[in-house]
Amino acid sequence: MGERVSVMISEEEVENRIREMAEQITKDYAGEELKLICILKGSVFFTTELAKRIDLPVKLDFMSVSSYEGTQSTGRIKIVKDLDDSIAGDNVLIIEDIVDSGRTLSYLLDLLMNRNPKSLRLCTLLDKPDRRVIDVDVDYTGFRIPDEFVVGYGLDYDQRYRALPYIGIMHLD
Ligand code: IMP
Ligand code: MG
């Protein structure tokens, strides 16, 4: 079976957009400290690029979650690796690679809201609105994309293609 990846969003476009997002975030949190929560592993590339461009004191923490697709496709989420530190009193920004059904972000929002952050917002590099099952209010979105399976810039197909420097469409034929 053949696998092919075609460019959807070039490296330059991705990095320009991340710069814009970082500028917006810098303005919105002016005078504050910010904690970025990187959702492993897909958000690693996005998080580091964004963090470098935000002109504020930034802290990083990491969380890993997995989803179970049951027979009913209930899509239950489980924590594989929790945050190292408390977020109580912090300005927290959750960094995701892509919002698809919305299950992961809505789960994380509920979970982290209960830990009493000073503020809690959502940031995603990509959004596939056509696939949404649960409504989530995303504060910062890089690109809205059509319903295609994408890889690169952290996103994987079976753990591969994460290190591509652009966002590509995965073709299986
Ligand atoms: P959600 O909980 O359905 O919103 O799923 C979000 C997660 O599904 C992302 O963090 C990705 O790990 C994965 N995912 C969704 N769409 C894609 C895709 O097109 N390529 C790679 N991973 C994807
Ligand atoms: Mg993910």
What sign does the CA torsion over 38, 16, 157, 164 have? negative
User: Distance from CA of residue 129 to its chain's centroid?
Assistant: 14
State the pLDDT at residue 74.
60
pTM metric for this prediction:
0.95
Residue 29 · residue 51 · CB < 8 Å: no
Question: Average pLDDT of 61-66?
Answer: 96
Going along the chain from its start, the domains and CATH numbers come out as 12-147 (3.40.50.2020)
Q: Mean pLDDT across the stretch 129-137?
A: 96
120 pLDDT higher than 90: yes
pLDDT score of 70: 52
Take residue 51 and report the two structure tokens written for it: 């963090």
The reported pLDDT for the residue numbered 110 is 96
Q: Which atom of ligand 1 is nearest to the CA of 67?
A: 2
User: Which pair of tokens denotes residue 163?
Assistant: 């290190």
In angstroms, rounded to a whole number, what is the distance separating the alpha carbons of residues 110 and 135?
A: 13
Whole-number pLDDT of residue 76: 83
pLDDT tens digits, 65-102: 998 765 555 668 999 999 999 999 999 999 999 999 99
Tens digits of per-residue pLDDT, 136-168? 999 999 999 999 999 999 999 999 999 999 999
From the list 85, 100, 137, 147, the catalytic residue is: 100
Pocket test for ligand 1, best of 76, 101, 155 (most atoms within 8 A of CB): 155
Ligand 1 pocket (Cβ < 6 Å) reads 42, 67, 96-104, 149-151, 155
How many whole angstroms from 62 Cα to the centroid of ligand 2?
12
